[in-house]
């Protein structure tokens, strides 16, 4: 009688992957930023803007890259936020932090236009760019993009997340901030 080795192989593979994950991540520390200093960025017209201009509203700061696939999916979630919350209460600011990797204002404008032309989706919030040294990315998105920060009306970080964030979780966090006033 022949016994199946499939369950044993599965268990072996599973245990090996757990062991590798533990070894690979040992010593890893999550860099949790609790305060963001005001910083400057260039908007799509080339004008210098500041993060502090958005204080007084709940702010979603989206640090992204045009050539980042999860960032593209994130845009769909941010669009849902823009559709479901008043711009008087919630502002969205997306900053392309891959400028030091060659991304430009022209490329970002093409990205926004492609959403409109190919999917009929208007990304109707403020977009900007990091500087060529990656000053914003180096400090606030060093773990990857997309990176989201949710600020209360006073400019305090309420929530942050590295990686794709779905609308329902983001909406829950926004609602919590709205309830707190």
* 15 pLDDT higher than 50: no
Report residue 31's pLDDT band, with 50, 70 and 90 as the boundaries: low
> Whole-model pTM above 0.85?
no
CB under 8 Å to 153, separation ≥6 — which residues? 55, 56, 57, 58, 177, 181
Query: At what angle are helices 69-84 and 167-180 packed, to 10 degrees?
Result: 40
With a pLDDT cut of 90, the percent of the chain lying above it is: 79
What is the rounded average pLDDT for all residues in the chain?
86
Report residue 36's pLDDT band, with 50, 70 and 90 as the boundaries: confident
Select the CATH number that applies to the domain covering 30-180 from these four: 3.40.228.10, 3.40.30.10, 3.10.20.30, 3.40.640.10.
Answer: 3.40.30.10
Of 16-20, 24-28, 35-39, 134-138, give the range with the top mean pLDDT: 134-138
- Supply the pLDDT for residue 34: 72
Domain boundaries, the chain: 30-180
* 22 pLDDT higher than 60: no
Residue 63: strand pairing partners: 95, 147
């Amino acid at each position: 009688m022949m016994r199946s080795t499939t369950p044993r192989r599965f268990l072996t593979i599973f245990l090996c992957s757990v062991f590798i994950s533990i070894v690979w991540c040992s010593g890893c520390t999550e860099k949790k930023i609790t305060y963001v200093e005001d910083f400057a960025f260039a908007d799509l017209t080339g004008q210098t803007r500041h993060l502090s201009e958005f204080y007084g509203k709940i702010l979603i700061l989206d640090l992204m890259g045009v050539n980042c696939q999860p960032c593209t999916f994130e845009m769909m979630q941010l669009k849902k936020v823009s559709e479901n919350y008043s711009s008087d209460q919630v502002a969205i600011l997306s900053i392309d932090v891959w400028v030091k990797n060659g991304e430009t204002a022209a490329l970002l404008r093409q990205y926004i236009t492609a959403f409109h032309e190919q999917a009929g989706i208007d990304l109707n919030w403020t977009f900007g760019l990091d500087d060529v040294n990656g000053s914003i990315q180096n400090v606030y998105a060093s773990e990857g993009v997309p990176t989201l920060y949710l600020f209360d009306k006073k400019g305090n970080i309420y929530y942050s997340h590295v990686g794709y964030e779905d609308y329902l979780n983001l909406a829950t966090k926004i609602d919590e901030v709205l309830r707190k006033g």
